[in-house]
Amino acid sequence: MSRLFPSLVEVAPLRAVLLREFRDALINRYFQVFSVLSLLGGAAAFVLSEDTHSIAFLILQVSLYFVSLFALLAGASSAQAEREEWQMLFAQPVPRAAYIIGKFIAYLSIFSAVLVLLFLPGLVAGSGAQRIAMLYLQTLLLAAAFLAVGLAAGFLAHDRAQALIAGVSAWLLFLFGFDLVALFAARWDFVQKFPDLWVGLLMLNPLDSFRIEALFALEQIPAEAANKTPLASWWIGHAGLWFSMVAAFWTVALVALAGLRLNRWEE
Amino acid sequence: MNARIFCLAIVLGITNHANSATLQERIDAAAPGDTIRIEAGVHAGPIVINKPLTIVGERGAEIRGAGRGNVVTIAADDVALSGLRIAGSGLQLSDDDAAVFVTGNRAKIDNNVIADSLHGIYLKKISGAQILNNRIQGKTTLTASTEPVEKGIGTSTENCDTTLVANRRGNGIHQWNCEGTLIRGNEISDTRDGIYFSFTNNSRVENNLVHHVRYGLHYMYSDGNVFENNTFSENAAGAAIMFSKELVVRGNRFINNRGHRAYGLIFQSCDRSRLEQNEISENAVGLSFNQCNENRIVGNRVTHNYIGLRFGSNSDGNAFTENIFVRNLHPVETGGSDVSGSRWAVNGVGNFWDDSFELDLDGDGINDLPHRELDLFGVLRRDFPAVAFLSDSPALKLLRFAEERAALPGASYIEDPAPLNSRFWTLRAQRAARSVISSNTK
């Protein structure tokens, strides 16, 4: 870590990596597919929604499944992209952390631009500028977290196939596994005695946190369970803040993990 | 000339006398069947109408009570009251204070504005009343009821709950022990309950708008009534219909009744009734169905609710057909109840479910495979309410998908043997059109 953080302040190498990553990201096929999907998803939400109120709900579904998956795939793919070139790249006078930070910033910047394609139709349709803007920011945070998952999976794996398998497994775990375990655990008497513990563990999953934030806050779903436990009540009251914190935590932790792994490679 | 002046003086004198008399004096002086026109301005109440009269308010006419008792009491048969603003009743729930208190049969109350009162219109033990096109606004300075919606279901007595403290709101239109009332075209807001029915039979309620109240319609022990084309929106509960039979609830809109425990329509302990063509949308719970038997639920649109249909225990012989369940986060909640006693298709026609697997090889608009609507939370909703945080989870969708293909052991679900797809209505319209053309040709 000591070798990781000092390098963060060196701007010139970071800029060089950023430019390089921007060029690479633009020809990344996951990004290209994602751009098309974003455009189609936004248009579909616009066309298929019965009313403007429904658009945000449909966009939420696209974000939950596709944004998280493609951010992860892009991250994993990017981490493995220059695997054959590491010897040459490490010979350059560029701090190792700059590669990680550069990749992350470049890809997230492009995600932020591509996501506009997803949200613009909703905005044009008059689905509530504030609501759409909020959902856009939350989706960008979700993309950041799963980009970090992808980067970590990519740098921890030995080859591209392993990286993709690890990344997709992590995505499936976050998307389905967490909630399936939570649902079955909820049937145990022991768990039912500690609802705050159950809620607390659920809150750590960025996809659950994102879903609940969007459903309960943006869509104003009646919070039937909100007043049942202190933690549940707090969570509903601060869903946006909590999601931001969870997404930031996962992002920083996983980017740091990827950086550590990269440093170990060098050694 | 002198004779003319004398006559004019007499006429002016009478008119002047009429104008200076109080409203109650004019009513007392009128003969049965007379029409009294009330001029613009504030007229002091309370008044009691004890003979058949027609009272018509001119534009700007108001009867204002002194904040005690009723403002207008209709104690005779065949009284009509229209075009007035009526305000300022007492606020004692235990005394049933109301802006208009009616104990005479066949009263017609139309085109009035009622405000600043406890109950709006109170009908007590009468028949044939007509309440038409009135605007009733509750006293917003009084505390709105904060009782949970389910509290007290089945425990109320025939009158308003007198255990409530005095500074609570009354009902918009309150009926007790009435027969054959027509309630049409009224707008009611900010009252305790919009329209209250108790022991009132064979009435019609149509084209009313009720919003921002506790129950839009609070209804019990009343049989043979028809509710048609009313809108109940933004209330704690759209309508609570309980302990009654042989009702027709048709073409109403129960929309946007939200909040932690809000309902579109609560149907409890009601038998042999028809729920048809209603729109039940954007509620916390769309339709709550509990201990109801032999009802027909046909062609309702249940959409965009947190829970579409809450189907409780001890309900048998109900038939659901041609209903549309779309975009509900939880289409059906059974709470682990036995739902096998009700039918989910009639004559081979089921309901439309937006997540139904569409396989329609013969193209008749009815899917060839049955649809299972799974209630994954079941009794957990009651035992472990935090489970609601899994609403709309992809994992739940995965389980639903699996359930469509093979029934999961131990899971509670309803099974529609003949789910509809979107072609069903198109095909029906085409058949109807062909039938018309064919009959015209003959």
Q: What single string gives the DSSP state of each residue in B33-99?
A: T-EEEEPSEEEE--EEE-S--EEEEPTTEEEE--SSS-SEEE-SSS-EEES-EEE-----GGGT-EE
A120-129, A192-201, B264-273, range with the lowest pLDDT? A120-129
> Chain B contact for A217, CB < 8 A?
no
Rg of the Cα atoms in chain A? 20
Mapped onto helix, strand or coil, the DSSP state of residue B379 is coil
pLDDT for A55-78, tens place per residue?
777 788 888 888 999 999 988 888
pLDDT at A219 over 80: no
Q: Is A194 on the interface with B (CB under 8 A)?
A: no
Of A186, A192, A221, which has the smallest distance from its Cβ to B391's Cβ?
A221
Cβ-proximal residues to B429 (8 Å cutoff; 6+ apart), any chain: none
Contact B81, B53 (CB under 8 A): no
More confident residue, A220 or B161: A220
Dist CA A5 CA A16 (whole Å): 18
Topology of the domain covering B75-441: Pectate Lyase C-like (2.160.20)
* Chain B touched by A65 (CB under 8 Å): yes
Chain B residues touching A225 at Cβ < 8 A: 385-389
* Predicted local confidence at residue B148, as pLDDT: 44
Whether the CB-CB separation of B149 and B96 falls below 8 Å is answered with no
B260 touches chain A (CB under 8 A): yes
A213 touching chain B per CB within 8 A: no
Local confidence pLDDT in tens for the 442 residues of chain B: 455 544 444 444 334 444 568 889 999 999 999 999 999 999 987 999 999 999 999 999 999 998 888 999 999 999 999 999 999 888 887 788 899 999 999 999 999 999 988 899 999 999 999 999 999 998 776 555 544 444 443 333 333 343 333 347 889 999 999 999 999 999 999 888 999 989 999 999 999 999 988 889 988 898 889 999 999 998 888 888 899 989 999 999 999 887 666 788 998 999 999 999 999 998 888 998 888 999 999 999 999 888 899 888 788 899 999 999 998 888 888 876 777 788 999 999 999 998 888 888 888 889 988 988 888 887 787 788 888 888 888 998 888 888 777 777 777 788 899 999 988 988 888 888 888 888 877 6
- DSSP letter for B201, please: B
**ipTM, 2 dp:** 0.83
Indicate the helix (H) or strand (E) that contains A131: helix A129-156
- The alpha carbon dihedral of B41, B44, B45, B49 has a sign of negative
Sign of CA dihedral B247, B233, A131, A243: negative
Q: How far is A8 from chain B (nearest CA, A)?
A: 38
Find the residue in A nearest to B391 (Cα). A212
Q: How far is B395 from chain A (nearest CA, A)?
A: 5
Q: Which of A64, A178, A199 sits opposite B386 (nearest CB)?
A: A199
Of residues A161 and A223, the one with the higher pLDDT is A161
- Residue where the block lists tokens 């949200």: A119
Q: With an 8 Å Cβ cutoff, is A73 touching chain B?
A: no
Distance from CA of B190 to the nearest CA of A (A): 21
> Tokens 């946006």 identify what position?
A240
Q: Is A204 on the interface with B (CB under 8 A)?
A: no
Which residues, listed in sequence order, are joined to residue B240 by a DSSP beta bridge? B218, B266
CB atoms within 10 A of CB B347: 7
- Give the torsion sign (CA, A201, A202, A205, A210): negative
- In this prediction, residues A166-191 reach a mean pLDDT of 92
Instruction: Pick the more confident residue, A28 or B253.
Output: B253
Buried b (16+ CB within 10 A) or exposed e, B61-93: bbbbbeeebbbbbbebebbbbbbbbbbbbbbeb
Facing B386 at nearest CB: one of A50, A57, A232: A232
Task: Report CA torsion sign: A179, A181, A186, A187.
Answer: positive
Across the strands, what pairs with B293? B271
**Closest residue by Cα to residue B79 from B46, B52, B50:** B52
**B68 interfacial to chain A (CB closer than 8 Å):** no
Rounded to whole angstroms, the Cα distance separating A86 from A88 reads 5
B261 and A54 within 8 Å at the Cβ level: the answer is no
Which residues on neighbouring strands pair with residue B187, listed in sequence order? B135, B209
Whether residues A229 and B391 touch (CB distance < 8 A) is answered with: no
Report how far residue B128's alpha carbon sits from residue B132's, in angstroms, rounded to the nearest whole number. Answer: 13
| Residue A16 to chain B, least CA–CA distance (Å) | 40
Q: Which residue has the higher pLDDT, A34 or A85?
A: A34
Q: What is the pLDDT of residue A221?
A: 58
Q: In whole angstroms, what is the distance from residue B129 CA to residue B135 CA? A: 17
Of A178, A186, A221, nearest to B306 by CB-CB distance is A221
d(CA A63, CA A143): 9
Q: What is the C-alpha separation between B407 and B78, in angstroms, rounded?
A: 63
Contact A212 B260 (CB under 8 A): no
Give residue A1's pLDDT: 46
At A215, the pLDDT band (50, 70, 90 cuts) reads confident
Interface probe with B: pick from A58, A179, A213, most Cβ of B within 10 Å: A179
Q: Which tokens hold the place of A252?
A: 């920083």
Q: Do B284 and A227 touch (CB under 8 A)?
A: no
CA pair distance A138, A150, nearest whole angstrom: 18
Cβ-Cβ contacts under 8 Å, B380 against chain A = 186-187
Q: Count the Cβ atoms, other than its own, within 10 Å of residue B15.
A: 10
For an interface test with A, the pick among B389, B393, B401, B412 (most A C-beta atoms closer than 10 Å) comes out as B389
Q: Residue B386 has what pLDDT?
A: 85
Q: Is the dihedral of CA B31, B32, B33, B39 positive or negative?
A: positive
CB contact under 8 A, A186 and B391: no
Quick check: A59 contacting B, CB < 8 Å?
no
Find out whether the peptide bond into A6 is cis, omega within 30 degrees of 0. no
- Chain B: nearest CA to A52, how far in angstroms? 13
Chain A residues touching residue B262 (CB < 8 angstroms) = 222
Of A54, A220, A222, the CB nearest to B260: A222
Kindly list the domain boundaries of chain B, sorted by start residue. Answer: 75-441
**CA separation for the pair A6, B133 (Å, rounded):** 77
Compute the distance between CA of residue B395 and CA of residue B353 in angstroms, rounded to an integer.
Answer: 19
What ranges make up the beta strands (E) of B299-351? 301-303, 307-311, 319-321, 324-326, 330-333
Q: Which two three-digit tokens encode residue B380?
A: 């957990």
Instruction: Determine the pLDDT at residue B10.
Output: 41
How far is CA A101 from each of CA A24, A92, B88, rounded to the nearest angstrom? 15, 16, 71
Mutate to test the interface with A, among B333, B393, B403 (most CBs of A within 10 A): B393
Q: Which residues of B touch A179 (CB under 8 A)?
A: 390, 393-396
- Contact yes or no for B260 and A199 at CB 8 A: no
* Rg, Å, chain B Cα set: 26
On whether any CB of chain A is under 8 Å from the CB of B409, the answer is no
When pLDDT is cut at 50, 70 and 90, the band that residue A228 belongs to is low
Average of per-residue pLDDT values in chain A: 81
